[in-house]
Chains A and B, each alone.
Chain A
Amino acid sequence: EDQVTQSPEALRLQEGESSSLNCSYTVSGLRGLFWYRQDPGKGPEFLFTLYSAGEEKEKERLKATLTKKESFLHITAPKPEDSATYLCAVQASQGAQKLVFGQGTRLTINP
């Protein structure tokens, strides 16, 4: 069964304090791993797609990396506006129309 586990469940940082969020996955043939950001009362906002081990993508203060078993979302010098829930999801070769989501990491950046 395809599974995605995110850690930590919640993370509080001071503004400027860099850290990483983890997404571990087991999937029967990875087609893609997706990172989303979700603000309260809003829908998930697409951030990155990663396809193969070793791939990296960057956007402003965020950098996503992928290995054969996990993905990291690195946040460099975060600002309060980076506070959100970050969701990781995988698309498997079997059942390619579906996304399997992790439980999310609730990130709070204190000024």
Chain B
Amino acid sequence: DTEVTQTPKHLVMGMTNKKSLKCEQHMGHRAMYWYKQKAKKPPELMFVYSYEKLSINESVPSRFSPECPNSSLLNLHLHALQPEDSALYLCASRDAGRNQPQHFGDGTRLSIL
């Protein structure tokens, strides 16, 4: 079991639906990340929150909308997704100290019909 918890584990949605992915950590980490991972590829960075403020957006389409309500929680709101958005969505968190590793959750497997 990881210390970064993601829900739901699986999600199937139509292209017109609105849904949200949730990520929670209670390690006191102040940096949180969203990644997208396709099969047999490494994780691809989407967003970084540092001290609850969005610090990096890797030119992600606006149909993905991140939110950081507090230091333990990270959401990813989804709307009008495309079939190519089907992937494993990973959340990670990192301690604020220098060179600390990122710790990943087990992801949400998203399928767009």
- Which A residues form the contact surface with B (CB < 8 A)? 31-32, 34, 36, 41-46, 49, 51, 87, 89, 91, 97-99, 101-104, 106
Contact = CB atoms under 8 A, between A and B. Distances in A.
B55 interface: yes
B106 A98 contact: no
A11 B90 CA distance: 25
Which secondary structure dominates chain B's binding surface?
strand
Interface residues of B, number: 26
Contacts of A34: 101-102
A97 B104 contact: no
A42 B56 contact: no
A43 B102 contact: no
Interface of B: 2, 4, 6, 31, 40-43, 45, 48, 50, 55-56, 88, 90, 92, 98-99, 101-107, 109
Given A42-B106, A43-B104, A43-B107, A101 B99 contact: no
A89 B14 CA distance: 34
Given A43-B105, A43-B107, 18 more contacts: A31-B98, A32-B101, A34-B102, A41-B106, A41-B107, A43-B90, A43-B106, A46-B104, A87-B42, A91-B99, A97-B31, A97-B55, A97-B56, A99-B45, A101-B42, A102-B42, A104-B42, A106-B40
30 contacts: A32-B101, A34-B102, A36-B104, A41-B88, A41-B106, A41-B107, A41-B109, A42-B107, A43-B4, A43-B6, A43-B90, A43-B92, A43-B104, A44-B43, A44-B90, A45-B2, A45-B104, A46-B102, A46-B103, A49-B99, A51-B99, A87-B42, A91-B99, A97-B56, A99-B45, A99-B102, A101-B43, A103-B41, A104-B40, A104-B42
